[in-house]
Structure 1
């Protein structure tokens, strides 16, 4: 997997139980994965069409660094499926622990919001992966 982003949990990100609010985590993951999908497809017109089951495995507290990793799972005609994983990072030990993971599906769209093909060279680059 490739490291895509670093985030820091701050007071403004905390929910009523003293942990990182789940909606903030989903926002971080979506922004990171969408930006990466656009970069990989060399096109800014990739939109989130599906977020799979999301597993919140451990709480994130104020001051925790969260490292976000991603892996392309498949590329179809107009879609890209990306697995993302957020890991808390311990500054003192250098160890990471998975705190959240999910799968996003992005679709390339035209100016009217209709699905259009991802460039063939991008699809060929990921042809070795199973199709979605």
Structure 2
């Protein structure tokens, strides 16, 4: 799994127990999944269709740095299915796992449309192919 984003747990991210609020963490995961899907599908119009059960393994506290990992499970006709792990950057202890996140590719009218993707592409590969066509 590739870890793309780091977040610093700040006082405003905490619940009354003094640990990272689960809702804040889910917000970060949803945003990261959306950004990942947008880059992969090359379309800024992507929405979350489904997030499977989540499994909180441990907590994070103020001052911790957490990192969010995303991995592609597969490409559907109009969707991309991802999984996610969030872990403590320093200890690598898993904080949460999400086994299934489905993001859907949309047209300008908000309707699901085929994206034509079948495998993970990296921006560096796209840039290299652009250089060859120039």
The interval holding the TM-score normalised by the smaller chain is 0.7 to 0.9
Q: Which residue of the partner structure matches residue 102 of structure 2?
A: 105
Residue 96 of structure 1 aligns to a residue in which SS? coil
User: Aligned ranges for residues 16-95 of structure 1 at < 5 Å?
Assistant: 16-90=16-90, 95=91
Q: Which residue of the partner structure matches residue 115 of structure 1?
A: 112
The runs of 5 or more residues in structure 2 that have no matched partner are 121-134
* TM-score normalised according to structure 2 size: 0.85
Aligned length: 119
Could you say what the CA RMSD is over the residues aligned between the two structures, in angstroms? 1.0
Q: Deviations over 1:84-123 (max 9, x none)?
A: 1000122xxxx311001112100001122111001x2x22
The runs of 5 or more residues in structure 1 that have no matched partner are 127-132
